[in-house]
Structure 1
């Protein structure tokens, strides 16, 4: 039977936080949760846009300012949520960037890796204490079909390489990091006997604000054609995230995406991912690196981490030398 929002269980009494909820897929995810009775925290870079989105969504909502280009902003947002709530049932790491105008975050990280991975990693770590003992709580990380072009390992040099603004490879690497994080988080939650679980989803193709960045010139005709013929509206693109957040039959570690047209559109179903996204050693190395770069350490038992790959003298994000 095809999954649809009509199958979302009653969410009354549950508290959900959705990042990037002022528009696009994040707004539709927040709308779907609020429509079923959840209290939804809209974590947005702009308070004004967040409040406008809350009015459109209706139901029980609040707005918290969150700018993933700044780890200080992440810490302030997490502190605000902890001050207001003593539990969190759902955390949907939806916000992200693709080909943005800036090349580094406030903390000096390559913009895709900083916003799409390090920010959500830090936010999750700072909020997880509200979730680990809450039955049925879930962390949902939104990845992308582009994770398949995220080649290479992860290290501090790659994290700070400034040449990745218009790089498809840089964006893909950040989305590969999303999947590695989601799976390692599930492994650590399960090993710790936590009540919370971690899942991931990808939206396929959708003409949201994410595509408003400055894509590489050679990619623009492909993007235009793909969005015209393969894309689905944000309401449909949000369904994998909504199912990951609410389907009680899904196990921790599940990965969902659209069912048709090479995963670009359709009803949400279990999705396939690249071999690199299932690399257990890479998961552990990325986790250690992320803790070091963000200063956010999760309260899990230590695990052994394989040695990092040696540096090559080449910018690992774009392949450029120097």
Structure 2
């Protein structure tokens, strides 16, 4: 299953996995766009099996409904790629009262992963891959104001959420290892990839993302096909281990074929990992399962 798989990196990830024989579930907010993406993949890969699931990570109701529908149709899941993400140039809150970027990029994936984790635990060697960003290096987790109620800066919100992706991955890895599970948690980042992600960004960013500028920006921005390879490597490389992080190598980590890379010291802060986990449980009402038992959904 790949979240946000109707376009960009998620679509390219799904297409590549389908080309190699995986049954792929596209979990997307817009059902029509998901169906169109599935049709494009099956047209390109005629023997593939591609299904869709409506999932809005900014809505706790949608997350619960999607988890219930998935559990009704499947008894096991080999791979979950938490790819969906977004950024809001202007402040917005979800129907649950959470700042939209933080909800979509962290709280939603945290809740959905928890609700379906037992489907992954049923499969030896299954994986949870969460897509972060080089932007995490500029991130701070604002525990005193996670939802930016005292002043919103879209970049700070996005960087916080991408740091949270890594903090979540490392804490999930620790908990899975402590429970003796063979399921692992791995993180990845695409570098700078030319996708629709920047469509709501300031004009200079939108201009640089245009395909006609690719010859000028080859060193700065890579194709979505190449950007997707980091998540795919984290998902299928037999040498990958829990708690690892994959992305384009090099000092800037903008472009290139994926390798194991390092994240910031802030992402490895064990106190922050535990604190964010507790806060995420409190905000979402989701307590992760012990081996073999479903997640607990709070009030």
Query: Same fold by TM (over 0.5)?
Result: yes
1:213 Cα shift? 1.5
1:214 Cα shift? 3.6
Residue aligning to 2:105:
116
What is the RMSD of the two structures over their aligned residues, measured on CA atoms?
A: 1.9
Residue aligning to 1:169:
156
Check conservation: 1:133, 1:195, Cα contact below 8 A.
no
- d(CA) in 1 for partners of 2:40, 2:151: 38
Check conservation: 2:90, 2:154, Cα contact below 8 A.
no
| Map 1:129-148 → 2, pairs under 5 A | 129-148=118-137
Partner SS for 1:120: helix
> Stretches of 4+ moved more than 6 A in 1?
none
Residue ranges of structure 1 left out of the alignment (5+ in a row): 1-16, 302-322
Residue ranges of structure 2 left out of the alignment (5+ in a row): 43-47, 292-299
Cα gap change, 1:224/1:264 in structure 2, threshold over 3 Å: closer, same or farther? Answer: farther
Check conservation: 2:114, 2:286, Cα contact below 8 A.
yes
| Map 1:201-216 → 2, pairs under 5 A | 201-215=188-202
Match of 2:175 among 168, 181, 188: 188
1:223 Cα shift? 6.8
- d(CA) in 1 for partners of 2:242, 2:156: 28
- d(CA) in 2 for partners of 1:103, 1:162: 13
What TM-score, normalized by structure 2, do the two folds share? 0.88
Match of 1:271 among 261, 272, 275: 261
- d(CA) in 1 for partners of 2:209, 2:7: 21
Partner SS for 1:256: strand
1:57 Cα shift? 1.1
- d(CA) in 2 for partners of 1:146, 1:119: 19
1:226 Cα shift? 7.9
Residue aligning to 2:146:
158
